[in-house]
Amino acid sequence: MTILVTGTSGQLGRLVVESLLDRGVPAPDVVATARDVETISDLAARGVDVRRADYSDPSSLKEAFSGVDRALLVSSNAVGSRVEDHRNVIEAAADAGVELLAYTSIAHADSTTLLLAADHWATEQILAASGLPVVLLRNGWYVENWAGQIPVALEHGAIAGAAGEGRVSAATRADYAAAAAAVLTLDGQAGKVYELGGSPFTLGELAAELSTQAGREVAYRDHSTSEYTAVLVDAGLPESVAAVYADGDRGIRDGELLVESGNLEQLIGRPSTPLADAIRTLLA
Ligand SMILES: NC(=O)c1ccc[n+]([C@@H]2O[C@H](COP(=O)([O-])OP(=O)(O)OC[C@H]3O[C@@H](n4cnc5c(N)ncnc54)[C@H](OP(=O)(O)O)[C@@H]3O)[C@@H](O)[C@H]2O)c1
C-alpha cells in the first residue's frame, strides 16, 4: 500500500508523514511530496519516497501520483487562488486511479460563512464531481494560530481579538496530523466526512492559561471585527490579510469554529491535546 502526502515541506504535511511512520507504515511506502524536494531531503534520508509535486504543474503531479494507492491533499496556503491548484491535484489523483483521496478542508465547510472557507467549499465540490473515493478532514483551528501573538501578549499584558465569549475547538497540528494518518491507514474511509476539533475554549480562557503559565497578567482585550482589523493593520498586516484574520475571530464569536462531533478523539484514539499542554509547548 503506497500512501502519498502533499505539502510535506509545510508544517501539517510533515507531521502527517511522521504520524504514518509512527503508525508503522514502512518508509518506502510513504510518498512525501513538495514543490522543492530539497526542503524534505531529511525524509529521503530516512527512506521515505520523496517526489516533486507542484500543484500548479500537472506533469509533476502525474509523475508524483504514479503507483499511489491512497493520498492526502493538504490544502495550499495560497488563499484565494488555490482552487485551480487543488483541481490539478484531484485530476492527477483521478488519472492515477487512487483508491482514496483525503482532503484537509475547514470546519463546517458546507455551512460556515468564514471568508477562508470559500476555497475549501469549492474544492469539496470538485472532489464530489471527480467520482473519486473521497474522505473529508474538516479541520478546525490550530492552537498554533496564536503562537505569533504570544510574545506580544506577554510584552503588553493583553491578547487582542474579536471573538467575544465565543468558543473555538482548536487542536494542535500534531493531533490533526494523527487523525489524517489514521484515516489514510484505516479501511472503509471513502465517503466519510470528519468534523475535527479539540476541546473548546474562549480567548479569555486562552489568556488566563497564558497568565498562569507565564506567571504574569495577560488579559483578553475584545474588539469589534472592524476595530480588530485596524489593530492588525497597525501591527503591520496588509488590510486584506487582517480582514481575513478578524473574520476568523468573528467566526469564533458566532460559533462557526465550535466542533462538537468527537471525531478527532475517535480517530486518534485518545483525548485531544489539552490547551494547557499545547500552551506549554508554545511557551517552550
Ligand atoms: N486549520 C487552521 O487553523 C489552518 C491555519 C493555517 C492554514 N491552514 C490550512 O492548512 C494547510 C496546512 O497547514 P500548514 O500549517 O501545514 O501550512 P504551511 O506550513 O503554510 O504549509 C503549506 C504547504 O502548502 C504547500 N503549497 C502551497 N502551494 C503549493 C503548490 N503550488 N504546490 C505544492 N505545494 C504547495 C507549501 O509548499 P512550499 O513549502 O513549497 O511553500 C507547504 O508545504 C494550509 O496550507 C492551509 O490551507 C489551516
Instruction: Quote the ligand 1 centre to 203 CA distance (angstroms).
Output: 25
Distance CA 29, CA 181 (A): 13
Distance CA 165, CA 171 (A): 18
Label residue 251 exposed, middle or buried (CB < 10 Å: 0-12, 13-18, 19+): buried
The DSSP call for residue 216 is: S
Distance CA 67, CA 35 (A): 19
pLDDT (0 to 100) of residue 267:
98
Contact 14, 174 (CB under 8 A): no
**Protein residue whose Cα sits closest to atom 19 of ligand 1:** 10
**Protein residue whose Cα sits closest to atom 45 of ligand 1:** 77
The predicted model scores a pTM of 0.98
Name beta bridge partners: 33.
51
Instruction: Quote the ligand 1 centre to 13 CA distance (angstroms).
Output: 8
The percent of residues in the chain predicted with pLDDT above 70, rounded, is: 100
Q: What is the pLDDT of residues 196-228, one digit of tens each?
A: 999 999 999 999 999 999 999 999 999 999 999
3-class secondary-structure state, position 223: coil
Distance CA 109, CA 105 (A): 7
Q: Residue 87 to residues 74, 82, 129, 274: CA-CA distances in angstroms? A: 12, 9, 11, 36
Q: Ligand 1: which of 36, 56, 74 to mutate, judged by most atoms within 8 Å of the beta carbon?
A: 74
Average pLDDT, the chain: 97
User: Over 90: is that where the pLDDT of 80 sits?
Assistant: no
Contact 13, 37 (CB under 8 A): no
Of 263, 119, 78, 255, give the one whose Cα is nearest residue 189. 263
Q: What is the pLDDT of residues 50-70, one digit of tens each?
A: 999 999 999 999 999 999 999
Q: What is the pLDDT of residues 92-102, one digit of tens each?
A: 999 999 999 99
pLDDT (0 to 100) of residue 166:
98
| Ligand 1 surroundings by CB, under 6 angstroms | 7, 9-13, 34-36, 54-56, 74-78, 85, 104, 139, 141-142, 145, 173
Q: What is the pLDDT of residues 121-135, one digit of tens each?
A: 999 999 999 999 999
All three cell numbers of 278? 499545547
pLDDT (0 to 100) of residue 87:
98
pLDDT (0 to 100) of residue 81:
86
Of 162, 268, 272, 153, give the one whose Cα is nearest residue 209. 153
